[in-house]
Amino acid sequence: MADPDSTASNDTGVGEPVSVPDESVDESDSDPDADTTDAEMDELREQVEQKYDFDDFGPADMAEMSAEEWEAVFDAETWITDEELLDRVERDLLTRVANRDVFARIERHHEPPHILAYSDEGYAVVYPDGSIEGEGTVLRDVKPTVALCSMDSYEVPEEVPRNPLPEPEAVPEGGGELGNWMLQAIAGAQLLAGLALIVGGGLATAGIVGDAGTSIALLFVAGFAFVGVSLVLFFTVANARLSDKFRAEEYRDRLRAIGLEDGERPEFVPEIEPEYDGDRAGTDSSDEAGT
């Protein structure tokens, strides 16, 4: 005869046989949610990668990106930090300075480890953990660089210029002299042609050249038109050279303001003095990267 207790337990569903289905139901309820979250994150990551060009990622893109998009594309667990991050940031910033995408003097310090970037309009300090502090346009330009260099998928240039900023006196007055000479040659030809037409019109008026069918008015109109065009071209060349001269002088002043001549930093840049080892000279070898 069967045990009444065991029979009741099996009939009512109370006891061990019921506990197994309960566990399986819990697992099946949690797994779809996890799979859905991962799928949504992957979809968002693909949308972000299509929306932004991370090879040309700048401050405007960084400001536009939402918190959800940032978390989707920048995985904190895979971020590069410590000295490797500083190495990548230094190389990327030097390349950007050389390409005139960023104007800043770059200094690499090892004790304590950090990168100092500054110009006449702001500064930024980058620490090994990826944190940044600073102000002005330099901080705005450095933030995207640090974010990108933290990603293993972002390729940083290997060969970089060690002195991307020129000395103030080495800045030329301007470029494009070939174009200016070509414009001057065209303007000179236009001027000679215009003067020839005006002289021809005068001779035709005096009856020295031409015949009864000569359109004297047309000669004068064409002559003055050629002269006018030549004057416009000469003015364009003069204005371009003057603008180049002013831009070159302004660039020299900015280079002097960040200490490329006297070695003095702007007053608003914080004094972060590296602690050198005994085998180091009086200047950090990486400090010269921005000079």
d(Cα 286, Cα 157) in Å, to the nearest integer?
17
Residues whose CB is less than 8 angstroms from the CB of residue 92 and which lie 6 or more positions away in sequence, other chains included? 145, 148, 149, 156, 157
**pLDDT tens by residue, 154-187:** 888 888 888 888 887 777 776 667 777 888 899 8
Q: pLDDT class for 63, splitting at 50, 70, 90?
A: low
Could you give the CA distance from residue 142 to residue 58 in angstroms, rounded to a whole number?
Answer: 9
In degrees rounded to 5, what are phi and psi of residue 190? -65, -40
| Contact criterion met (CB below 8 Å) for 80 and 55 | no
CA distance to 95, 173, 189, 238, per residue, from 230 (Å): 42, 24, 8, 12
- What's the pLDDT band for 273 if we cut at 50, 70, 90? low
Please write the tens of the pLDDT for every residue from 98-147: 888 889 999 888 878 899 999 988 999 999 888 899 998 899 989 888 98
Whether residue 43 contacts residue 49, with contact meaning beta carbons closer than 8 Å, is answered with no
**Mean pLDDT score, 1-18:** 43
List all residues 6 or more positions away from 226 whose beta carbon is below 8 Å from its beta carbon. Answer: 190, 191, 193, 194, 197
| pTM as predicted | 0.57
Closest CA to 199 of 225, 214, 219: 219
Cα(267)–Cα(288) distance, integer angstroms: 20
Dihedral-angle region of residue 15 (phi above 0 means left; psi in -120 to 50 means alpha; beta otherwise): left
Q: Name which of 26-40, 51-65, 118-132 the model is least confident about.
A: 26-40
Q: How far apart are CA 105 and CA 263, in angstroms?
A: 11
pLDDT for the residue 59? 62
Q: Give the Cα separation of 161 and 26 in Å (integer).
A: 59
